[in-house]
């Protein structure tokens, strides 16, 4: 059974810092991996999707990497801003298009 773990559970950083969020998964037979952002009480906003054959994806200040063999992904946020404060969720997608989510990392960027 696929299990997804996100570390740390919470993170507080001063504005401007670069930071890394970690995601690990137990079964390397994945189709895609996707990072989401969730603001309090809101739905999911897709940030980056990485296909299993890819190693990384970039969008603006965000960079996500994938190492399938070791069951790890990282989300790198450059020059963090207070508006980046949210919960970040990692999800692996299997060959049946079923999502397995981690519990998220709650990020607080202090002005």
Partner 1 sequence: DAGVTQSPTHLIKTRGQQVTLRCSPISGHKSVSWYQQVLGQGPQFIFQYYEKEERGRGNFPDRFSARQFPNYSSELNVNALLLGDSALYLCASYSFGSAYNEQFFGPGTRLTVL
- Footprint of partner 1 (CB under 8 A): 4, 31-32, 36, 41-44, 46, 49, 51, 89, 91, 93, 96-104
- Judge whether 65 and 73 are in contact, CB under 8 Å: yes
Strands 10-14 and 105-110, sheet pairing: parallel
Query: Toward partner 1, which CB reaches closer, 37 or 109?
Result: 37
Query: Toward partner 1, which CB reaches closer, 41 or 60?
Result: 41
Query: Toward partner 1, which CB reaches closer, 41 or 83?
Result: 41
Cα–Cα distances in angstroms (integers) from residue 58 to residues 21, 40, 41, 51, 97, in the given order: 15, 25, 27, 13, 23
Q: How far is the CB of 48 from partner 1 (least distance, A)?
A: 11
Query: Toward partner 1, which CB reaches closer, 90 or 109?
Result: 90
Q: How far is the CB of 97 from partner 1 (least distance, A)?
A: 6
For 83-86, the CB contacts below 8 A with 24+ separation are: 83/109, 84/109, 85/109, 86/37, 86/38, 86/39, 86/40
Q: How far is the CB of 17 from partner 1 (least distance, A)?
A: 25
The two structure tokens encoding residue 6: 């996100």
Q: How far is the CB of 22 from partner 1 (least distance, A)?
A: 15
């Amino acid at each position: 059974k696929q299990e997804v773990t996100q570390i740390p559970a919470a993170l507080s950083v001063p504005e401007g810092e670069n930071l890394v969020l970690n995601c690990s998964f137990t079964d390397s037979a994945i189709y895609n991996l996707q990072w989401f952002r969730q603001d309090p009480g809101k739905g999911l906003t897709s940030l980056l999707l990485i296909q299993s054959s890819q190693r990384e994806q970039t969008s603006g200040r965000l960079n996500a990497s994938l190492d399938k063999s070791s069951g790890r992904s990282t989300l790198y946020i450059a020059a963090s801003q207070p508006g980046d404060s949210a919960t970040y969720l990692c999800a692996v997608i299997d060959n049946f298009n079923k999502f397995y989510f981690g519990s998220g990392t709650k990020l607080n960027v202090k002005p």
